[in-house]
């Protein structure tokens, strides 16, 4: 997996030209993580993982910026690293294990002080973008909005029963006075699904059960097919 890493100081505008390209072997990294799930991983195993994470998160230019900022700290000052990821494959990695030996430490002789999460001068923060610009929504037309609610409580083995009559009542109560045309299909079959969706539909609501059939790859991504369970054969 290839991506780009960019580190800049608060108040600065990010410069795309300063972003470092990084290649990550995610399956190999996942296997390294799984090896730590055993009983009492050694310090060397955790340091090896943390060093690998540091190579990913702090490549050459980003590491130089980090070390310069750290070296410039006063006695009462602290350094906050805000980490923002644009893909879940990277966001769910345990970055809190990141390990970076102090610059004056002989190679391979670092102790616990190399873990940034244990450094009292450093704060690691995961930063999430909570506000997004609003999307532009075009009006559907001048007629009522049509909502189709398809409901199916299959009798398949191991599937819990659903109180769909109560849910239909909740929908009717919530939408009945909103100028919305609500069509509810109980005991839905494949045929009733096709019939319900033949006229124009603005909102489709499904109440029922689903199943997923597939397999999980080494990088924890899933490849398979999802199913909605309807009535009848």
Q: Could you report the per-residue pLDDT of 56-101, keeping only the tens digit for each?
A: 888 888 888 888 888 988 988 898 888 888 777 788 888 889 998 8
Residue 45 parent element (H or E) = helix 43-57
Rounded to the nearest angstrom, the gap between the alpha carbon of residue 22 and the centroid of all alpha carbons in its chain is 20
Residue 22 — pLDDT band, cuts 50, 70, 90? Answer: confident
| Class level of CATH domain 145-229 | alpha beta
Handedness of CA 28, 29, 31, 36 (dihedral sign): positive
Query: Using an 8 Å Cβ cutoff, are 83 and 126 in contact?
Result: yes
What angle (nearest 5°) sits at the alpha carbon of residue 172, between those of residues 164 and 175? 130
Question: Rounded to whole angstroms, how far apart are CA atoms 215 and 206?
Answer: 25
In whole angstroms, how far apart are CA 164 and each of 24, 40, 123, 173? 47, 49, 49, 14
Tell whether the model's pLDDT for residue 148 goes beyond 90. yes
Tell whether the model's pLDDT for residue 220 goes beyond 50. no
Chain length of the chain: 233
Question: Rounded to whole angstroms, how far apart are CA atoms 208 and 51?
Answer: 47
Provide the angle, in degrees to the nearest 10, between the axes of the packed helices 43-57 and 26-35.
Answer: 150
**Residue boundaries of the structural domains of the chain:** 2-126, 145-229
Helix (H, G, I), strand (E, B) or coil at 82: strand
Q: Could you report the per-residue pLDDT of 180-200, keeping only the tens digit for each?
A: 889 999 888 888 888 888 888
């Amino acid at each position: 997996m290839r991506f780009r890493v960019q580190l800049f100081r608060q108040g600065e505008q990010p410069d795309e030209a300063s972003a470092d390209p990084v290649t990550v072997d995610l399956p190999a990294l996942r296997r390294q993580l799984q090896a730590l799930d055993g009983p009492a991983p050694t310090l060397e195993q955790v340091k090896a993982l943390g060093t690998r994470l540091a190579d990913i998160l702090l490549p050459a230019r980003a590491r130089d910026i980090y070390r310069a900022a750290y070296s410039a700290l006063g006695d009462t000052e602290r350094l906050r690293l805000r980490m923002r990821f644009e893909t879940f494959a990277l966001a769910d990695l345990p970055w809190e294990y990141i390990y970076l030996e102090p610059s004056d430490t002989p190679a391979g002789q670092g102790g616990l002080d190399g873990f940034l999460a244990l450094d009292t001068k450093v704060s690691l923060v995961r930063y999430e973008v909570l506000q997004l610009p609003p999307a532009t929504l075009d009006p559907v037309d001048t007629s009522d909005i049509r909502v189709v609610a398809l409901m199916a409580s299959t009798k398949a083995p191991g599937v819990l029963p659903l109180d769909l009559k109560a849910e239909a009542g909740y929908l009717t109560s919530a939408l009945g006075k909103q100028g919305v045309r609500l069509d509810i299909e109980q005991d839905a079959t494949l045929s009733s699904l096709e019939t319900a969706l033949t006229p124009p539909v603005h909102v489709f609501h499904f109440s029922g059960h689903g199943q997923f059939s597939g397999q999980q790859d080494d990088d924890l991504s899933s490849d398979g097919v999802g199913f909605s369970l309807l009535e009848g054969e």
